Amino acid sequence: MPYAQNRDVNIYYEVTGNGSPLVLHHGLTGLLENWKRFKYVDALKDKYRLILMDARGHGKSGKPHDPKQYSMEHMTGDVVAVLDDLGIDRAYFWGYSMGGRIGLALGKYHPDRFRALIIGGNGLSEKNSKEQVEELQEEIRYYRQGKDAIIASIGEEFGEHMEWWRNTWPSKDLEALIAYCSFYENIGMADYLPKLRTPCLLYAGEEDTYNHSIAKACAEIMRDAEFLSLPGLNHLGAIVNSSVLIPHVSKFLEKVTNV
C-alpha cells in the first residue's frame, strides 16, 4: 500500500485517473473513500490524476493522540509529503470542511506547490476563534459518547449512504479525533490570505449558515477568489451531492488552467 511519511507519521494515499494532478482531501471523521462513494472520482478521473489521501488520525494513516500533532503545519506537511512521494512539483487541491481548512493553510505553508485551491464548507475562521472552539468542544462531547452511541445516532439525513456511514465507525480512532479537536491555533489567515496569488474557489451550502458566511468572507478578502453559494444545501448536502458541485468546479479548473 502506498504511504508517504511526514515526521514519523505515515499518510496513506491512492492515485487514479489521468491528467493534471488534483489532491482530494476529506473532512473530519471522513475517509478518502468518501470521494469514491459520492461519485467525485467517477466524474473527474478522465481529466485529472486524482490523489486521494487519508488525513492523519483517519482511515489507514497514522493516528497520533497528541493534540500538537494536528497543527496546520503538520497537516499541510502531510499533503506535501504525498506529492513529494509521487514526485509531483505542483498540483490542484480540493478540500472539504477540515480539508478546506487545510487547503487555506497550504496558502501559508506551501503556496508554491499548488496551482489552485478549491475550498468547501470552510473559510475565514481560525481554529481558536470562539465559534470554532465551541464547535470543536461539541465534537469532543460527541466522540466521548462512544462508538455504539454514535452509530445509533446516525439517521436518515445520510439517505442512501446511512448504512455505509454507520459501517465506517467501528474502525475509527476516537482519541485521535479528540486530539484534532483539542488543538486550537491561529495561523494568521487575515494577514496572508489577501496576499495569496493562488486562484481559489470557495463554496458552501446556504443552509450551512456559519460556514457559508466565513467562506464568503474569505473570498472577499482574497486577491484571486470567487465564492459559490449552494441553495438548499447544508454542510452534509454540500459534499454528498457531487452532481451539483462538479460542473462548477470543472469550469473553475478549466479557467485557471487556460490562464
pLDDT tens across 192-202, in order? 999 999 999 99
Q: Which CATH number fits domain 3-126+188-257: 3.30.450.40, 3.40.50.300, 2.60.120.1090, 3.40.50.1820?
A: 3.40.50.1820
Q: Which three cell numbers stand for residue 9?
A: 507519521
Indicate the pairing of strand 48-53 with strand 20-25.
parallel
pLDDT of residue 259: 65
Cα within 13 Å of Cα(61), Cβ side: 33
CB atoms within 10 A of CB 185: 15
Name the nearest CA neighbour of 256 among 46, 20, 79: 20
Domain boundaries, the chain: 3-126+188-257
Give the pLDDT of residue 258. Answer: 78
Residue 219 phi, psi (nearest 5): -60, -35
Name residue 194's amino acid.
Answer: P
Residues of the chain with pLDDT under 50: none
Say if CB 98 and CB 29 are below 8 A apart.
no
